[in-house]
Amino acid sequence: MARSTDRDDLARIDAALDVAAAALAPFPPGAVDARMKRGDDPLTEADMAVDAALATHLPRAGEGWLSEETADDLGRLEADRAWIVDPLDGTREFVAGIPEWCVSIGLVVGGRPVAGGVLNPARGMRIVGSVDEGVRSVRSMGSVAYKLALVSAGLADATWTLVPKNEWDVAAGAALVTAAGGEVFGLDFSEIRLNEPDTLIPGIVATAPGIAGAIRDLLSAQADGTLVSTG
């Protein structure tokens, strides 16, 4: 079977997470000024520093780039391989000094998340994996990327959100869950497709291997639309 990823993709993700950690070093969580951007979301110098570092070290010629903190270049839609990142997923928690934030890097090939890395320096956690190589929890480490990473590492059974998320929130975590043999799908139980013109996803569900059917049944029974998560 043809590989979805190149053999150096995980090394590139690992190296990029090292670069992100170095970019974060001058910005202690809980002691960072923030300004508000669109949608009343906070933005810090740490977000921008990590974004610049990842944009410099990750994409190669012919690869697309989508980041929460970079103006969207729709040329990415012509690329078979695209990097989708959130330089700081959980900025509110970062500003408050709550250790539920992370750097999220996802690689999408042909619209499918196939490799990813999630780094939470505050908890000493780094999880990297691909659909070809599986997941390796490098160090045992609330953002949605963090929750997806926990499912991939076998530290949670399932997670889901019934509220919209952007591609950069979920690309890395979705790749990790898939790499670990779990399943990722939308609220209508269809396959998640990424690197789309509209980067907003209505919701996402991720499960550990072997329990997707039970989670689908549980969610189908949630007729009131109440947000529920398990772990």
Query: Which pLDDT does position 229 carry in this prediction?
Result: 41
Tens-digit pLDDT profile for residues 73-127 = 999 999 999 999 999 999 999 999 999 899 999 999 999 999 999 999 988 888 8
How far, in Å, CA of 59 to CA of 143, rounded? Answer: 24
Other Cβ atoms closer than 10 A to 33: 10
Query: Which pLDDT does position 226 carry in this prediction?
Result: 42
Query: Which pLDDT does position 87 carry in this prediction?
Result: 97
Domain ranges for the chain: 9-220
Nearest CA among 38, 212, 193 for reference residue 114: 193
β-pair type (64-67, 81-89)? parallel
Backbone angles phi, psi at 105, to 5 degrees: -125, 125
Question: Locate tokens 């520093």: which residue?
Answer: 49
Tens-digit pLDDT profile for residues 139-165 = 444 578 888 998 998 988 888 887 899
Nearest CA among 151, 148, 132 for reference residue 211: 151
Q: What is the DSSP secondary structure assignment for residue 190, as one 8-state letter? A: P
* First-residue to last-residue Cα distance in the chain: 33
What would the mean pLDDT of 171-182 be, rounded to a whole number? Answer: 95
Residue 52 sits at the vertex; the CA angle it makes with 47 and 57, to the nearest 5 degrees, is 125
Q: Is the pLDDT of residue 63 over 70?
A: yes
Q: What is the DSSP secondary structure assignment for residue 192, as one 8-state letter? A: P
CATH architecture for the domain at 9-220: 2-Layer Sandwich (3.30)
67-to-2, 88, 178, 215 alpha-carbon distances in Å: 28, 10, 21, 30
Q: Is the pLDDT of residue 227 over 60?
A: no
Q: What is the pTM of this model?
A: 0.69
How far, in Å, CA of 82 to CA of 174, rounded? Answer: 14
What would the mean pLDDT of 11-39 be, rounded to a whole number? Answer: 92
